[in-house]
Amino acid sequence: MAKIEFNEHEKASIVAKIKLYFSEELDQHIAQFDAEFLLDFFNEEIGAYHYNRGLADARTILEEKLETITDAFYEIEKPTEFAR
């Protein structure tokens, strides 16, 4: 798996959310560097779990759509004397 990386805009947005969470939920101030460090930690240690869950969800959706497409093929298939 490739390393999960965010562009500068994404990283700034996530870091701002971390700082806001610490302030509002934990009543603590967290410095910019510390919030970035925490983001990097979660990204490296927990990111793969979220990534894999996203892949599993996408796989499920794709399998459901493929089943629908396969059913649609059978619906429009014309009968012939040839069996499968």
Tens-digit pLDDT profile for residues 11-34: 999 999 999 999 999 999 999 999
Task: Establish if 82 belongs to a structural domain.
Answer: no
pLDDT of 83 strictly over 70: no
Tens-digit pLDDT profile for residues 55-68: 999 999 999 999 99
Q: What is the pTM of this model?
A: 0.70
CA distances from 53 to 32, 39, 57, 66 (A): 29, 19, 6, 20
Verify that 30 and 54 share a domain, yes or no: no
Going by pLDDT thresholds of 50, 70 and 90, the confidence category of residue 1 is: low
Task: Establish if 26 belongs to a structural domain.
Answer: yes
Max CA separation in the chain (angstroms): 76
Verify that 52 and 35 share a domain, yes or no: no
Range of the domain at 65: 48-76
Task: Establish if 83 belongs to a structural domain.
Answer: no
Number of domains in the chain: 2
